[in-house]
Amino acid sequence: MSIQYVIDGYNLLNHPQLAANKKGNSDRLSLLDFIKRNRLTGSPKNKVTVVFDGYPDSRERFDESDFCVVFSRMISADEKIRKLIEESGQRKGIVVVSDDRQVQDAARALGANVSSIEEFVGKKDRQKKPLDNGLEQKVTYSDMEKINSELRKIWLK
Q: Can you give the pLDDT at residue 145?
A: 81
CB atoms within 10 A of CB 36: 15
d(CA 88, CA 9): 19
CATH number of 49's domain: 3.40.50
pLDDT confidence band for 123 (50 / 70 / 90):
low
Our count of domains for the chain comes to 1
Q: Can you give the pLDDT at residue 31?
A: 85
d(CA 155, CA 35): 39
With 80 as the cut, is the pLDDT of residue 84 above it?
yes
Over range 114-138, report the average pLDDT: 64
Q: The domain containing residue 64 runs over which residues? A: 4-155
Over range 12-24, report the average pLDDT: 69
Please report, for residues 57, 67, 125, 133, 135, the alpha-carbon distance to residue 29 in angstroms, rounded to integers and kept in the order given.
Answer: 11, 11, 25, 14, 19
Please report, for residues 22, 79, 82, the alpha-carbon distance to residue 142 in angstroms, rounded to integers and kept in the order given.
Answer: 21, 27, 26
pLDDT confidence band for 7 (50 / 70 / 90):
very high
Greater confidence (61 vs 93) lies with: 93
Enclosing H/E stretch for 82: helix 77-87
d(CA 66, CA 17): 23
pLDDT confidence band for 96 (50 / 70 / 90):
very high
Sign of CA dihedral 143, 106, 1, 69: negative
Over range 121-142, report the average pLDDT: 57
User: Is 0.85 topped by the overall pTM?
Assistant: no
